[in-house]
Structure 1
Amino acid sequence: MLELEYNNDEYADTMTMAMNMANRTVNGVPVEAILKPIEMNEELVQRIAHRKVKVPEIAIVEPDPQWLDHFETFRSRILAAFEPPKNEDDPQEGADNASRVTILSVNHVGSTSVPNLPAKAVIDIDLVLSSNTLSSETFYVPRLEAAGFQFLLREPEWHGHRFLVASEPMSCNLHVFGPQCAEVERHRIFRDWLQQHDDDRELYARTKRDAAAISREKGEPVMGYTVRKDEVIRRIMTRAFTELGYLSG
């Protein structure tokens, strides 16, 4: 997934390039929030459970057309899990419906969403809900668990992120966010840019392969692999933001 960070000097330089963005939004998200990522703090991550299935090896494989089919399988499961109760006259189901959390979008993101891009064989999905807060978890978590996802992490300070995983028909990372989330917009922008720009797609593929090889050699967890891609991701995102008019050239 996209982890885009700036140090203080880089952020200051980036924000001085912004062009009259104070009141501009994209899908309800302020452009300024899209340009300024929230830094993740691992100390604030709340672990809910440990994986039942071993985390996939850090290996970059050739693109597989079936990845799109597998995304649709996961998407169908998620949508089915949130279907309204069949018997609206049942008092219990009526109470359940009164506190219903609704799906705003189910987005295929990450490298497997980009045709012709080598990737780790893991489907990444951004699930955007009308509410993903602690009080809403009693509604959506059991439904997602019944659909085959395991709830692993809660990150309230990082866009309220909830992280779940599944393993059939292939490995899947499910990222649950609330409405108007800047991180969701960044994921979409990065995906769309790579789909449309062969040169940056090829650059990112080389970067991923090199980062994965080093991480395997050092026996690192996935975070080391992710950090090694940060600089290239930052450069690609800067090009995307500039073309979109969020930054001046």
Structure 2
Amino acid sequence: MDSAEKTFNGIPIEAIINPSKDNPVLVERISRRKVKAPELAIVEPDPEWPTHFQTFRLRILAAFEHHDPDTGIHHPSGPQEAVGVRVSTINHVGSTSVPGLSAKAVVDIDLVLSGNPLTDEPYYVPRLEAAGFQFLLREPAWYGHRFFCASEPMSCNLHVWGPNCAEVERHRIFRDWLREHEDERELYARAKRECAAAARENGEVMDVYTSRKNEVV
């Protein structure tokens, strides 16, 4: 098998099928949520979820634009601020991105920045915070993940990644698979309801719910 056959969308297949494990001990807490996250409840799909994603998407894009006071023109922030740091992709992922799938009422977004930008927090963190996203967690050992949240117009989890991230590709593959396979979508919905019910009954935190659900994933 040549090198082209060992990658998928430029990501090593080995990295996709054998993901790195996030270690809670290595998570760096930046702040606590100012607005409480929704309760762990699986609700029926809402046709407004994609619309809310677009609201967040436009907010993120605007946060990375630069306004020239002389011309009034908005354009991508220039190299004088952070060389090569730009928005690469903004993906709606997670269950609210799959039509017809029951989900927690939380929009999940993968924001991929170009270059090698995750350590350039003085550049992108203030922009995202000004756009209404609160910086919660830093996970340098897990793909350099940075985690933000927002609460308007609905709850949102914003995941910030660098380029060529296997976890981003995994999210996209899983989303597209569920969109295309109704039987798998129904199986996943049942598993989520059961795992959420067990978590509520046992007083478990979100991480335990996610671990239960991962057996089906």
Under a length normalisation based on structure 2, what TM-score does the superposition of the two structures give?
Answer: 0.92
**How far apart are the structure 1 equivalents of 2:97 and 2:24?**
26
Partner residue in 2 for 1:13: none
Gaps of 5+ in 1: 1-19, 234-249
2:129 matches 1:145: yes
What are the equivalent positions in structure 2 for 1:78-97 lying under 5 Å apart? 78-87=60-69, 96-97=80-81
What are the equivalent positions in structure 2 for 1:168-207 lying under 5 Å apart? 168-207=152-191
2:43 matches 1:61: yes
1:72 to 23, 38, 54: 54
**How far apart are the structure 1 equivalents of 2:50 and 2:88?**
20
Residues 96-128 of structure 1: CA deviation (Å, up to 9, x unaligned) = 445352000000000000000000000000000
Partner residue in 1 for 2:100: 116
2:7 to 25, 35, 44: 25
Partner residue in 2 for 1:133: 118
RMSD (Å) for aligned C-alpha atoms: 1.7
Partner residue in 2 for 1:38: 20
1:154 to 130, 133, 138: 138
**How far apart are the structure 1 equivalents of 2:79 and 2:210?**
43
Amino acid at match of 2:98: V
Amino acid at match of 1:108: H
Gaps of 5+ in 2: 72-76
Q: 1:65 Cα deviation (Å)?
A: 0.3
**How far apart are the structure 2 equivalents of 1:72 and 1:61?**
21
**How far apart are the structure 2 equivalents of 1:132 and 1:118?**
34
2:190 matches 1:213: no
Name the one with the larger strand percent.
2
% identical equivalent positions = 64
Residues 123-156 of structure 1: CA deviation (Å, up to 9, x unaligned) = 000000013422x111000000000000000000
Q: 1:84 Cα deviation (Å)?
A: 2.8
**How far apart are the structure 2 equivalents of 1:120 and 1:108?**
14
**Contact 1:21/1:31 (<8 A) preserved:** no
Q: 1:85 Cα deviation (Å)?
A: 3.5
- What secondary structure does 1:51 align onto? coil
Name the one with the larger helix percent.
1
- What secondary structure does 1:154 align onto? strand
**Contact 1:48/1:154 (<8 A) preserved:** yes
- What secondary structure does 2:215 align onto? helix
Amino acid at match of 2:118: T
**How far apart are the structure 2 equivalents of 1:66 and 1:78?**
19
List structure 1 segments (4+ residues) > 6 angstroms apart after TM superposition.
Answer: none
Amino acid at match of 2:158: L
- What secondary structure does 1:184 align onto? helix
Amino acid at match of 1:176: V
- What secondary structure does 1:53 align onto? coil
Amino acid at match of 2:102: P
**Contact 1:22/1:32 (<8 A) preserved:** no
Amino acid at match of 2:142: W
- What secondary structure does 2:88 align onto? strand
Under a length normalisation based on structure 1, what TM-score does the superposition of the two structures give?
Answer: 0.80
